[in-house]
Amino acid sequence: MEVRVLGPLVAQLDHTSVVPSAAKPRQVLALLALHAGQVVTVSTLLDELWGDAPPRTAPATLQTYIRQLRRRLATALGPTAVRGPKDVLCTRYGGYALDVAGPCDATEFQRLSAAGQTALREGSVREASVLLHQALALWRGPALADVQIGRALEVETVRLEETRLGALDARIEADMRLGRHAALLGELTALAAQHPLHETVHAQLMLALYRCGRPSHALGIYQRLRQCLIRELALEPSTRLQRLHQAILRADPVLESPEPTVSEGAAPRLRPLTPASV
C-alpha cells in the first residue's frame, strides 16, 4: 500500500485510491497513515474528530468510518487478494492500526533528512546536499493539504513542518558551502519574505548577497530584520547575527565564499563561513 502525506493525502493499493471524499473518514485515514504500523487509540481518534465536544454517538460513528474505509480497501484489494481489508486496517487492543508494507513518504523524508544533516556535520558537504535535496523533493505541498485538521493531526503537521524547515536550513547551508550562493538568492529572498522573523534565513540571505557583491543589500536586510524584531518581539538580533552584520561592515575576508570546485573532504582555501559559524 502506497501512503503519502507530504502534500495532499495519497493512499492507494495497486494504483486504486482508498482515500474517502468525506472529511471525517479522511481524517481517520490520515491519522492512521501518519502512524502506520502503530496502534492509534480510539480516544485519540475521537479527540481528533470531535475535540472536547464529542456527540453521544461518537464511538459508534467512528466504527462506521472504519467500516467505510475497509469497504474501500476491499474494493481496491479485489476478491482474490490474500490479505483482506481487516488485515490492512487492523483492530488492535484499544484502537486501530494501518498495516502498510514499505515506508510512507514522511518516514523516507525523515531518514534522508537525518542522513543529510549527519553528513553535513561530518563535513561531507556534497553528499549532504544530495541527500537533503532528495528529502525535500518528497514534499508536494503542505502536509495533508486536503485533510481537515484536528488536534492530533495539528501536532503531527506542525512537527513535520518544523522538520522540513530544519532540513531546508541544512540544505541551504550545504549549498552555500559549495559556492552556490548566486543560485540561492531567489529562494532565500522568498523565504525571508515568508518568514520575516527567521534569523537563520536572513543570515543566509545576507551572506549570499555579500558573496554576490551586494554588501549594501545585505546590510539593508539586516536593518529590516532588526526593525521587525524590535517591533514584533521587542528584541534585538542575536549576537550571532550582529557579528555577521559587523563582519559585512568591515568586509572581513572570512566572509569570502569557499571554492565551489573543492573536492569532497579537502580543505577550502578560506574557511567556509556559514551563518551558524559567524
Total number of domains constituting the chain:
2
State the residue range of the domain holding 15.
Answer: 7-98
> What pLDDT sits at residue 256?
83
Domain boundary among 81, 98, 115: 98
> What pLDDT sits at residue 278?
45
The verdict on residue 115 lying in a domain is no
The verdict on residue 48 lying in a domain is yes
- Nearest-CA neighbor of 200 among 177, 168, 236, 223? 168
The verdict on residue 268 lying in a domain is yes
> What pLDDT sits at residue 273?
41
The verdict on residue 241 lying in a domain is yes
> What pLDDT sits at residue 258?
62
The CA-atom distances, in angstroms, between 221 and each of 104, 216, 245 are: 39, 9, 10
In 3-state terms, what secondary structure has residue 57? coil
The verdict on residue 143 lying in a domain is no
The verdict on residue 174 lying in a domain is no
State the 10-residue block means of pLDDT for the chain, 278 residues long.
94 90 96 93 96 93 96 87 87 92 87 97 96 98 96 96 95 94 95 94 95 95 96 95 95 75 35 43
Q: Which of 213-249 are b and which e, b meaning 16 or more Cβ less than 10 Å from the residue's Cβ?
A: eebebbbebbeebbeebeeeeeeebeeebeebbebbe
Domain boundary among 57, 77, 98: 98
The verdict on residue 173 lying in a domain is no
Output the nine-digit C-alpha cell for 230.
Answer: 524590535
User: Which string of DSSP letters, residue by residue, matches 240-275?
Assistant: HHHHHHHHHHTT-GGGSPPPTTPPTTPPPSS----G
The verdict on residue 240 lying in a domain is yes
Reading phi first (left if > 0) and then psi (alpha if -120 to 50, else beta), residue 101 is in beta
> What pLDDT sits at residue 257?
65
Give the CATH number of the domain where residue 192 resides. 1.25.40.10
Give the CATH number of the domain where residue 72 resides. 1.10.10.10
**Distance between CA atoms of residues 131 and 122, nearest Å:** 14
> What pLDDT sits at residue 248?
95
Domain boundary among 98, 120, 142: 98
**Distance between CA atoms of residues 85 and 99, nearest Å:** 10
- Same domain (yes/no): 185, 277: yes
